[in-house]
């Protein structure tokens, strides 16, 4: 890939506009940037969520995301990728994850962003604990997330 | 070798990491899970559904039949729920 790859795991919030500006600074070959933000929801299956706590496996999380980025860049002509995953405790409305994909044309950027998010959800070592009125509990993995990731498997 | 535990596996075992030397008869990830489960009720509870447990050797996902020889760090955790 002819472009920057930024992978950060941090407690601090991110600024989507600033990250896009940083990804495209000085570039005239980029025709498309797709931005995906994952945000803490206020309800899950009609239960109100007070907060989410994100735990990760330091070291492996960065390496696993890098492997996904390498796979994405081997499949699509990308000009740059930024992935920021926050850890810590979040209340509804707060940012959790950012994926930016840049390319000459939109299709590659759209597809690569979706691929990266699908794989992040099922393969990157992060876990969510949810606090609600009924107490706190670990969020269970969803079959629909496995199915979303599986559709990218090449036969 | 160093073992690391995350999320409810960590909570059930009651520690985030430890260093262990399993006997030579323990050759694979699933054999290590079975051996750990015999150590105490806390481990047995953490690994009560071994098919649900995911494992990584030296920061890479592995299957239950993966060999543990030469591993520096083995991690056990539930299915991932990030993003």
Query: pLDDT, tens digit, for every residue of B8-27?
Result: 999 999 999 999 999 999 99
pLDDT in tens, A57-115: 999 999 999 999 999 999 999 999 999 999 999 999 999 999 999 999 999 999 999 99
Q: What is the pTM of this model?
A: 0.94
Q: Would you state the pLDDT for residue A2?
A: 65
Residues 1-60 of B with CB under 8 A from A: 4, 6-8, 56, 59-60
Q: For residues B39 and B71, what is the distance between their CA atoms, to the nearest angstrom?
A: 21
B16: closest chain A residue by CA:
A57
Contacts of A31 (CB under 8 A, 6+ apart): A103, A104, A105, A106
Which tokens is A30 given? 């980029």
pLDDT in tens, B13-71: 999 999 999 999 999 999 999 999 999 999 999 999 999 999 999 999 999 999 999 99
Instruction: Return the residue in B3, B11, B79, B80 with the most chain A beta carbons within 10 A, the one to mutate for interface testing.
Output: B80
Q: Chain B contact for A64, CB < 8 A? A: yes
Look at B80 and A129 and tell me if their CB atoms are within 8 Å.
no
Q: For residues A98 and A86, what is the distance between their CA atoms, to the nearest angstrom?
A: 9
pLDDT value at A143 more than 90: no
Mean confidence (pLDDT) of chain B = 97
* DSSP β-bridge partners for residue A82: A6, A100
What domains are there in chain B, each with its CATH number? 2-77 (3.10.20.30)
Question: Which residues on chain B are in Cβ contact (under 8 Å) with A149?
Answer: none
Look at A60 and B77 and tell me if their CB atoms are within 8 Å.
no
Q: Which of B8, B59, B61 sits opposite A59 (nearest CB)?
A: B59
Angle at A11 between CA A7 and CA A13, to 5 degrees: 80
Q: Which of A54, A140, A142 sits opposite B82 (nearest CB)?
A: A54
CATH superfamily placement of domain A5-150: Molybdopterin biosynthesis MoaE subunit (3.90.1170.40)
Burial B17-34 (b: 16+ CB within 10 A, else e): eeeeeeeeebebbbbbbe
Instruction: Supply the DSSP symbol for A49.
Output: E
Q: Chain B contact for A126, CB < 8 A? A: yes
Mean confidence (pLDDT) of chain A = 94
């Amino acid at each position: 890939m002819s472009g920057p790859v930024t992978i950060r795991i941090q407690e601090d919030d991110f600024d989507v506009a600033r990250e896009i500006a940083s990804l495209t600074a000085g570039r005239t070959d980029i025709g498309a940037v797709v931005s995906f933000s994952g945000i803490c929801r206020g309800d899950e299956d009609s239960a109100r969520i007070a907060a989410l706590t994100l735990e990760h496996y330091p070291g492996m999380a960065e390496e696993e995301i890098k492997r996904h980025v390498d796979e994405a860049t081997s499949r699509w002509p990308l000009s740059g990728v930024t992935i920021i995953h926050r850890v810590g405790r979040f209340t509804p409305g707060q940012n959790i994850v950012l994926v930016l994909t840049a390319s000459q044309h939109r299709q590659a950027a759209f597809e690569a962003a979706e691929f990266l998010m699908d794989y992040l959800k099922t393969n990157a070592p992060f876990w969510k604990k949810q606090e609600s009125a009924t107490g706190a509990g670990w969020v269970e993995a969803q079959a629909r997330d496995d199915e979303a990731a599986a559709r990218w498997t090449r036969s | 070798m160093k073992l690391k535990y995350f999320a409810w596996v960590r909570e059930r075992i009651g520690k985030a990491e430890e260093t262990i030397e399993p006997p030579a008869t323990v050759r694979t990830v699933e054999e290590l899970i079975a051996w750990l489960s015999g150590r105490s009720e806390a481990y047995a509870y953490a690994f009560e559904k071994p098919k649900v447990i995911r494992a990584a050797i030296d920061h890479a996902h592995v299957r239950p039949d993966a060999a543990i020889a030469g591993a520096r760090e083995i991690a056990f955790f539930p299915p991932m729920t990030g993003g």
